[in-house]
Amino acid sequence: MPASTSLLIAGCGDVGGRLAQRMLQTGWTVYGLRRQVAALPAGVLPVAGDLQQSACPLDWPTAPLDYLVYSAAAGQHDEAGYRAAYVDGLRHVLGWLAEHGQKPRRLFFVSSSGVYGQRDGEWIDETSPAEAQGFSAQVMLEAERLALASGIPATRVRLTGIYGPGREWLLKQVRMGYRVVSEPPLYANRIHVDDCAGLLAHLLAADAAGGTLADCYIGVDDAPAPLHEVVGWLRERLGVTGWAEESTVRRSGSKRCSNARARALGWAPRYPSYREGYAAILDGR
> Given this model, what pLDDT does residue 179 score?
84
CA pair distance 231, 220, nearest whole angstrom: 19
User: Mean pLDDT in the chain?
Assistant: 94
Give the 3-state secondary structure of residue 282. Answer: helix
pLDDT tens digits, one per residue of 197-256? 999 999 999 999 999 999 999 999 999 999 999 999 999 999 999 988 765 555 567 999
CA pair distance 234, 175, nearest whole angstrom: 9
pLDDT tens digits, one per residue of 93-122? 999 999 999 999 999 999 999 999 999 999
Superfamily of domain 6-163+191-220+257-270 in the CATH hierarchy: NAD(P)-binding Rossmann-like Domain (3.40.50.720)
Give the 3-state secondary structure of residue 1. Answer: coil
CA pair distance 131, 113, nearest whole angstrom: 11
Domain ranges for the chain? 6-163+191-220+257-270
Contact predicate 107/12, CB 8 Å: no
> Given this model, what pLDDT does residue 249 score?
55
pLDDT tens digits, one per residue of 134-173? 999 999 999 999 999 999 999 999 999 999 998 988 999 9
Which residues fall within 8 angstroms of residue 29, CB to CB, at 6 or more apart? 3, 4, 5, 6, 7, 45
Dmax over Cα atoms in the chain, in whole Å?
Answer: 65
Give the 3-state secondary structure of residue 31. Answer: strand
Q: Is the pLDDT of residue 285 over 80?
A: no
The percentage of the chain sitting over the pLDDT mark of 90, rounded to a whole number, equals 89
Paired with 47 in beta bridges are 33
- Residues composing the chain: 285
With vertex at residue 28, the alpha carbon angle to CA 26 and CA 33, rounded to the nearest 5 degrees, is 125
Mean pLDDT of 49-77: 95
Count of CA atoms in the C-beta half-sphere (13 A) of 101: 3
Q: Which residues of 40-71 are buried (b: 16+ CB within 10 A; e: fewer)?
A: beeebbbbbbebeeeebbeebbeeebbbbbbb
Q: Is the pLDDT of residue 67 over 80?
A: yes
Count of CA atoms in the C-beta half-sphere (13 A) of 11: 23
Mean pLDDT of 168-196: 91
Mean pLDDT of 23-51: 97
Give helix 135-148 / helix 89-99 axis angle, nearest 10°: 20
Distances (CA, A) of 248 to 27, 55, 136, 156, 179: 49, 47, 24, 34, 5
Contact predicate 197/9, CB 8 Å: no
> Given this model, what pLDDT does residue 146 score?
98
> Given this model, what pLDDT does residue 1 score?
40
Q: What is the pTM of this model?
A: 0.96
With vertex at residue 46, the alpha carbon angle to CA 43 and CA 51, rounded to the nearest 5 degrees, is 140
If you ran DSSP here, which 8-state letter would residue 284 be given? Answer: T
Contact predicate 179/246, CB 8 Å: yes
The percentage of the chain sitting over the pLDDT mark of 70, rounded to a whole number, equals 96
